[in-house]
Amino acid sequence: MTVDVSSYPQDFQPAVLEPVDPVLFLGVHPLLVLLFVALAVLLMAAAWREGRRGAAARPDAAEAIWRDIDKACQAAMRANSDALPGQARALRATLDDRLGHVLALTGGLSKPLKELEAALRGRVTPDDHGHAPDDHPSPAPAKVTVVANSHVVIKDSGVEHEPRDEEPPHKPENRERDMTGREQADALRTAIAHVNDHWCRRAERIAELRAAARQLTRDGH
């Protein structure tokens, strides 16, 4: 039996690979991908520049705090007698708004801190009689002799003292009272001037505010 094999090449044609357009996964053209990447990079760069520009334009907190309090100080310093109480209250409100929590923190520690500093120095200030507060000698017991008619003679260190019959002068009590209008105006102007004298040193106060902010936000590590 003879098998004709000459027909095989015609029956089984070799596979031919057709060139296709280069496409990416999900059918997105590479050129479009490059455009998307370039656009994303441009948007990120623009956002970074805006962030830096905004940070540069944003006022420093220390500068803003100093400016607000100084503005309130100057308004109170210029106020006439009629507007003075209101401007003084506005100054106090500004101080509370911008530094209230800081003042509460430091105010509660001021007295204990002074006591700690005095104890660390190991020194004490004598009183008017040259004695330290705990350095007063205990008085020696006086010798008392009662004679006729309830008359008392006190003998102390060999010297006789006869007490006077009259009572010691009575010291008047210092009771709080309301200020007059003039007294209050003078007191307000004095207090406002003292606040202004302290706060007007701009460079010193801003440096203190920044140092306080760094210390309060430091975690200690």
More confident of the two residues 35 and 101: 101
What does pLDDT average to over the chain? 75
**Whether the predicted pLDDT of 35 surpasses 60:** yes
**Whether the predicted pLDDT of 192 surpasses 50:** yes
Per-residue pLDDT at 147: 46
User: Residue 196 has which token pair?
Assistant: 């202004």
The residue ranges of every structural domain in the chain are: 61-119+182-221
**Whether the predicted pLDDT of 7 surpasses 90:** no
3-state secondary structure string across the chain: CCCCCCCHHHHCCCCCCCCCCCCCHHHCCHHHHHHHHHHHHHHHHHHHHHHHHHHHHCCCHHHHHHHHHHHHHHHHHHCCCCCHHHHHHHHHHHHHHHHHHHHHHHHHHHHHHHHHHHHHHCCCCCCCCCCCCCCCCCCCCCEEEECHHHCEEEEECCEEECCCCCCCCCCCCCCCCCCCHHHHHHHHHHHHHHHHHHHCCHHHHHHHHHHHHHHHHCCCC
Tens of pLDDT, residue by residue over 134-184, are 555 555 544 544 444 444 444 555 555 555 556 666 666 778 899 999 999
* Confidence bin at 93 (pLDDT 50/70/90): very high
Provide mean pLDDT across the span 114-122: 87
| Residue 68: C-alpha distances to residues 61, 73, 92, 200, 202 (Å) | 11, 9, 12, 12, 12
pTM: 0.55
**Whether the predicted pLDDT of 214 surpasses 60:** yes
Query: Across-strand partners of 143?
Result: 155
Ranges assigned E (strand) in the chain: 143-146, 152-156, 159-161
